Chains A and B, each alone.
Chain A
Amino acid sequence: MTDLVQLLPLAMLGAVLGLDVVSFPQAMISRPLVAATAAALLLGDPVSGLLVGATLEMFALETLPFGASRYPEWGSAAVVGGGLFAVHTDPGPGALTVAVLAALVSAWIGSWSMVQVRKLNARLARKQHDAVAAGSKRVVEGLQVFGLTADFVRGGLLTALMLAIFTPIQAYVLATWATDPRVSRAVVVGIAASVAAGAVWKVVHAAPAARWLLVGGVALGLAIVATQ
């Protein structure tokens, strides 16, 4: 991903999808399933993006964007993961692992970067307090536009930076990867599904009969897998 022709569109996509996480419009186009697929579509391989997106979505199930809590920023992160996986026409056995790890690290750093934007917004709001208290339309709208712009820039920079950092790391790791392809895939998918299983239980456990519905669902799912 050293090619600017590939990097710039992905950075722009990361900016748009990073904005969706909190600021605008929160339509969940930033969820990994969508974001990773969109990133891979830009590189001409949306099917690979859907694969990474589904894996990341299993992690994202655990992290819900409650109010002022800190949570991973999946929009830009999934663009990084989808982009890294889809850039190879023939991804090696460790490609999914590296793409998922890069996305998780990006999501973690993205969480930190969102906090910085919120602090920046607070500083500006404090500075403009008197104008807001005087009912200035220009200032109220200006604060909103500033926050949106800062978040957009944050997402774009984060995506570009993470892609620039992880592209050479990915190249080195894939060139030296020595684990069997079956084990490689089983490990990353197993970890993702474990997180998803824990997350599903956390989401549903308080509902009446949830335990039996979940067990029944798993049995049905396994039966379908067995017959396929």
Chain B
Amino acid sequence: MKERIELPVRTRLAMFVRMLAIQGAWNYETLLGNGIGFCVEPALRLLPGGQGGDAYRAALARQSQYFNAHPYMAAVAVGALARAELDGEAPARIERFRTALCGPLGSVGDRLVWAAWLPACSIAALAVFGFGVGIGGVLLVFLGIYNAGHIALRAWGLSAGLEHGMKVAAALGSPVLRQGPAHIAQVAALIGGVALPLALDRVIGPGRALFGIVLAAVALGGVVLARLHGRAEGWKIAVGLLVLFVLYSVAR
């Protein structure tokens, strides 16, 4: 039986640091592909023949082709693909595995991070701001909580990928990944409800005399924008409204 190549801590660390820049060359043709090759590269130096050898060059070429995934969850792919290459799996199998990884790593990451974790942390920070906490506290809550999850997810992904290789699919069945988004959304709903009036109250300053009217307008505006979901973006509508308001305020 072929001996399993273990990665030195320095190599794992190099891969992890490179993963922070995995989207550095993101483009509309190869998407995340070059970034995957860039991140896997330190591990490929351990292949027979070392850096620049035939196995190294073939593997780097394979790993730098088109790839799409959530940038944090791509850590799973980086680990698993590095393990597959080091285990000497057949190139055709690795390419099929690589293609199969794209969909799940994209959808799981989008649901967990972009649609749940990031907005939840943002809402939590707005709530803390609304409670009157100072700058340090607000930023600590937002950056601290968000990046605890961010770094942990990347570290877990790399570790799971390296451990399981081409059998990493089982790790993606983790309850955190499957049920996490729904639980995070529930917490975000409660905190979001608390955060909105509190943040509004703190930002409104001299407009506090009109708080009741503003609150009613916000409720109405929120309902309209929620109903427009997918057909119009609130921030773009806001640009138009603010331009009109500035023109009115200057011209009157």
Cα of A33 to Cα of B185 in the assembled complex, Å:
21
**Is A193 part of the binding interface, using a Cβ–Cβ cutoff of 8 Å?**
yes
Residues in A neighbouring B119, C-beta threshold 8 A: 61, 64, 199-200, 203
Known: A135-B61, A203-B188. A65 touches B114 (CB 8 A): yes
If over half of B's interface residues share one DSSP class (helix, strand or loop), that class is named, otherwise mixed; here it is helix
**Are B30 and A62 in contact, CB atoms less than 8 angstroms apart?**
no
Task: List CB contacts (< 8 Å) of A13-32 with chain B.
Answer: 22-29, 31
**Is A121 part of the binding interface, using a Cβ–Cβ cutoff of 8 Å?**
yes
* Residue picked from A47, A186, A188, most chain B C-beta under 10 Å: A186
**Are A145 and B195 in contact, CB atoms less than 8 angstroms apart?**
no
Residues in B neighbouring A24, C-beta threshold 8 A: 20-21, 23-24
Residues in A neighbouring B204, C-beta threshold 8 A: 185-186, 189
A25, A62, A68, A210: which contacts B234 (Cβ < 8 A)? A62
A59 to chain B, nearest CB (A): 5
**Are B225 and A183 in contact, CB atoms less than 8 angstroms apart?**
no
Selecting from B7-15, B76-84, B93-101, B238-246, the interface stretch reads: B238-246
**Are A58 and B142 in contact, CB atoms less than 8 angstroms apart?**
no
**Are B57 and A134 in contact, CB atoms less than 8 angstroms apart?**
yes
B222 to chain A, nearest CB (A): 3
Complex A-B, nearest 10 residue pairs according to Cβ-Cβ distance, in ascending order: A217-B193, A197-B222, A194-B221, A198-B225, A135-B57, A186-B207, A207-B185, A147-B25, A121-B27, A195-B234
The residue in chain A whose Cβ has the minimal distance to the Cβ of B20 is A25
**Chain B: how many interface residues by the 8 Å CB criterion?**
112
**Are A197 and B182 in contact, CB atoms less than 8 angstroms apart?**
no
**Is A143 part of the binding interface, using a Cβ–Cβ cutoff of 8 Å?**
yes
A85 to chain B, nearest CB (A): 12
Residues in A neighbouring B35, C-beta threshold 8 A: 144
**Are A207 and B235 in contact, CB atoms less than 8 angstroms apart?**
no
Residues in A neighbouring B186, C-beta threshold 8 A: 204, 207-210, 213
A63, A176, A197: which contacts B250 (Cβ < 8 A)? A176
B127 to chain A, nearest CB (A): 8
**Are B243 and A101 in contact, CB atoms less than 8 angstroms apart?**
yes
The residue in chain B whose Cβ has the minimal distance to the Cβ of A93 is B206
**Is B203 part of the binding interface, using a Cβ–Cβ cutoff of 8 Å?**
yes
A28-B142, A204-B192 provided; 10 other pairs, C-beta below 8 A? A33-B139, A62-B225, A94-B246, A104-B239, A126-B29, A134-B61, A186-B207, A194-B222, A200-B188, A200-B189
Residues in A neighbouring B203, C-beta threshold 8 A: 51, 54-55, 185, 189, 192
The residue in chain B whose Cβ has the minimal distance to the Cβ of A101 is B242
A23, A57, A225: which contacts B126 (Cβ < 8 A)? A57
**Are B135 and A137 in contact, CB atoms less than 8 angstroms apart?**
no
Give A80-111 as 1s and 0s: 1 = Cβ < 8 Å from B's Cβ atoms: 00000000000001100110110011011000
**Are A200 and B192 in contact, CB atoms less than 8 angstroms apart?**
yes
Residues in A neighbouring B198, C-beta threshold 8 A: 221, 224-225
Known: A46-B135, A200-B123, A216-B193. A98 touches B38 (CB 8 A): no
Task: List CB contacts (< 8 Å) of B35-69 with chain A.
Answer: 35, 37-38, 41, 51-52, 56-61, 64-65, 68
Q: What are 29 A-to-B residue pairs whose CB atoms are below 8 Å?
A: A26-B150, A27-B146, A34-B139, A57-B126, A58-B199, A61-B123, A97-B246, A98-B246, A135-B59, A136-B60, A140-B64, A145-B24, A173-B246, A182-B208, A185-B205, A186-B210, A189-B204, A194-B221, A195-B234, A196-B196, A197-B196, A197-B226, A201-B222, A203-B119, A203-B120, A203-B188, A207-B189, A220-B194, A222-B197
A179, A214, A228: which contacts B249 (Cβ < 8 A)? A179
B183, B194, B210: which contacts A221 (Cβ < 8 A)? B194
How many chain A residues sit at the interface, stated as a range, is 35 or more
Known: A178-B250, A220-B194. A121 touches B143 (CB 8 A): no
The residue in chain A whose Cβ has the minimal distance to the Cβ of B210 is A186
**Is A75 part of the binding interface, using a Cβ–Cβ cutoff of 8 Å?**
no
**Is A112 part of the binding interface, using a Cβ–Cβ cutoff of 8 Å?**
no
**Is B219 part of the binding interface, using a Cβ–Cβ cutoff of 8 Å?**
yes
B71 to chain A, nearest CB (A): 6
Known: A122-B29, A140-B41, A210-B186. A195 touches B193 (CB 8 A): no
B37, B51, B233: which contacts A63 (Cβ < 8 A)? B233
**Are A144 and B222 in contact, CB atoms less than 8 angstroms apart?**
no
**Are B239 and A22 in contact, CB atoms less than 8 angstroms apart?**
no
**Is B217 part of the binding interface, using a Cβ–Cβ cutoff of 8 Å?**
yes
